[in-house]
Amino acid sequence: MSTAGDVASDQHTEAVKHSADQPWSGPVNDTWAYRTAVLTAVAVLKHSRRHQSGGVLMLSAHLCVKYGPSKSLAEASAMRFIAHYTSVPVPKVYCAFTHHGCTFIVMERIKGHMLGKGWVFRSEESKENLLSQLKSMVDQIRQLPAPGPAVSNIDGGPLYDPRPSMPGPDLHFGPFATIQEFHNYLRNGMQCHSDLPLEVNELIRFHDGPWDDPVFTHGDLSSLNIMCEGEKITGIVDWETSGWFPDYWEYTVTCQVNPQNLFWREEIDKFLKTLPRELAMDKIRREWFGGGF
């Protein structure tokens, strides 16, 4: 006999899996009035105000706009998806559209500062509290059921990764029908062969699986993308690298810490499941086929 909890869980799963009804996808408030207001604001302010990393322009104390030809509406969709199905704090999206090949996403400015700021001066108790909050948020995201076996962005389209040496001339790649197809792409189609080094053949066997369905992945859980205020995490930002990926991907890409963020490597195992074999395999992949810092 099904319980109320079972029914609620089943309804949640079906809601996420039904790609035909995606209230989080597509342009947001894409009207002439909103477009004109956003384009005018950017034209007026872009020369007088400093841009933040990632092409983000601060419009006011409460609003910012992320824009550029490499940006995608999928980033707006990802934030709306997470807000729709979890309690993870993300920027509220007020407007999102593409104009002459350039995407604009107007969103809430999250209160607080980057988690890494002053991290070394925090007490161990403070660090543990914040990392526990982060772990709870990540666990929520990872429990979201995938719509199928494909590796793709939230809208089923191409993925994006600005890290050095990632495949693809414009930093976009995919989508892929399966995890195996994604892996095949990452190693340029190379297959097991007796002439290859043992570690490369081991990587290929690892890549070939079998694999469970992908999990939703932020793709850049750096301390630079986690905002906090005092003892509370106020938001996770910068969802441009998010999508449905193999379950190890969040861990291995997070371990590729930015040179400005080296201290963060010591904290990752406290909010993500430690995956030493997967990390070793991904290190082989990067050494032989590129990708990452």
pLDDT confidence of residue 48: 78
- β-pairing verdict for 226-229 and 232-236: antiparallel
> What's 154's DSSP letter?
T
Give the residues of the chain that fall short of pLDDT 50.
Answer: 1-20, 165, 293
Supply angle C-alpha 18, 99, 71, rounded to 5: 60
Res 262: pLDDT: 87
How confident is the model at residue 1, as a pLDDT?
42
Predicted TM-score (pTM) of the model is: 0.89
- Tell me, what's the pLDDT at 155? 95
What is the model's pLDDT at position 50?
72
Q: What pLDDT does 53 receive?
A: 64
pLDDT given for residue 21 in this prediction = 60
Read off φ and ψ for residue 72, nearest 5 degrees. Answer: -140, 145
Question: How far, in Å, CA of 285 to CA of 203, rounded?
Answer: 7
Give the pLDDT score at 167.
55
pLDDT at 6: 43
Closest residue by Cα to residue 114 from 195, 199, 45, 56: 56
Domains of the chain in sequence order: 4-108 (3.30.200), 113-289 (3.90.1200)
What is the tens place of the pLDDT at every residue in 7-53?
A: 334 434 443 444 446 777 889 999 999 999 999 999 999 887 777 66
pLDDT in tens, 45-64: 988 777 766 689 999 999 99
pLDDT for residue 11: 34
Q: What pLDDT shows up at residue 20?
A: 41
pLDDT of residue 259: 78
Compute and round to an integer the Cα radius of gyration of the chain. Answer: 20
Phi, psi of 104 (to 5 degrees): -125, 130
